[in-house]
Structure 1
């Protein structure tokens, strides 16, 4: 069961030493849906915004931006993102600083890749429901409220974010017209305005992603379980 959950997870590993990065990816990378590498804190933030990982693993000492500084910035974007620190440092100051930042685990180098994999397996059930896989290659991160197309970030307006959040938290993922108008605009709006809103959202995403149920409302389309 845990292996099935791990296969759904996106991991971001931030490490400036290329050999270490590739060794860890080689050792445990195939256990996950994806295992993306970044070479410093700034690149780590860029990759984080691009792929919306479920968990971040990072070194502390890196050029351009340290792992702890990067962790602070990532927590501003997604306060619930789990972050694991890998470091040669054992000083209490670094450990306390990592705790203050919100790091969930601290592994000292040299570390055992299997221990890291076991730990992620331990917390994997807590991470499983964060990313919702939709049809047409889309996915929605319910924590950061971000939409992705084949792992590429799709910018949404505030009301478009509200729409996805509402429909994914509604029974059967069906929203009627009245609920959309009330919860998104909180005021009386015309049917034409709603249709224009949905039309623009479909242009930005896909006609097949948002299904019109005549006389009922709108439904979101999920990825089929047997699709790759």
Structure 2
């Protein structure tokens, strides 16, 4: 699960990021509101942890802009303890949850798990379907008819991205950001390798779903009935 954390208290933020990474979350950290909005608008995150008091742009305004632009990523707001008005404004602006600082990391982890479960319920108990395939991203299993095959984490993340945006061409840059993060040194050939491996697994299942390359643009999923 990929998390964006927007927090300008450096030492606290870095400590939380380390805890999240130890618990198998992939985390990007930014320390001002303008960057937080830019990153959030990418739509590549599963959850956003958003402080209200930020330089350049406050968290409430970021949240409103995200929702105005159709970004429905679950957001946990970080508020000052006792600031009821901030909590109310945040929830009214589209926040899914809030935590008052200071807080225990165990509580944050519990909130993340709860939002993760809520998101899973929205996608049919975690099963993503397209054409004749069904992907279980939690178990890293891909099914087609009576056949089933295990995927690697990156293969599962790649297929999940393609299924969720099945009407869109997904560029290599977006794939790198989603699978490896903004600050990754991953190159285009890393994407090409994972696309190739995933294609082989789709072929082994005799699926009519295929990954098409759009030269100079990226990749898109198609089924046999879609044609070329």
Q: TM-score, normalised by structure 2?
A: 0.59
Larger Rg: 1
Instruction: Output the CA distance in 2 between the equivalents of 1:137 and 1:29.
Output: 20
**Cα displacement (A) at 1:174:** 4.9
Q: Is the Cα contact below 8 Å between 1:10 and 1:32 reproduced in 2?
A: no
**Cα displacement (A) at 1:12:** 0.4
Q: TM-score, normalised by structure 1?
A: 0.59
Instruction: Output the CA distance in 2 between the equivalents of 1:71 and 1:136.
Output: 26
Instruction: Output the CA distance in 2 between the equivalents of 1:98 and 1:44.
Output: 16
Q: Is the Cα contact below 8 Å between 1:15 and 1:40 reproduced in 2?
A: yes
1:151 counterpart SS class: helix
Unaligned runs of 5+ residues in structure 2 are: 129-136, 138-153, 183-206
**1:57 alignment counterpart:** 49
Number of corresponding residues: 166
For the pair 1:22 / 2:14, whether they are aligned, the reply is yes
Instruction: Output the CA distance in 2 between the equivalents of 1:91 and 1:66.
Output: 15
2:54 counterpart SS class: coil
Instruction: Output the CA distance in 2 between the equivalents of 1:96 and 1:212.
Output: 46
Q: Structure with the greater relative contact order (CA < 8 A, sep ≥ 6): 1 or 2?
A: 1
Alignment RMSD: 3.6
Identify if the C-alpha distance between structure 1 residues 49 and 95 changes in structure 2 by more than 3 Å, giving closer, same or farther.
Answer: closer
1:38-187 to 2 correspondences below 5 Å: 38-50=30-42, 52-128=44-120, 129=123, 137=158, 139-140=161-162, 142=164, 147=170, 148-151=174-177, 174=209
Unaligned runs of 5+ residues in structure 1 are: 1-8, 154-171, 176-197, 220-228
2:55 counterpart SS class: coil
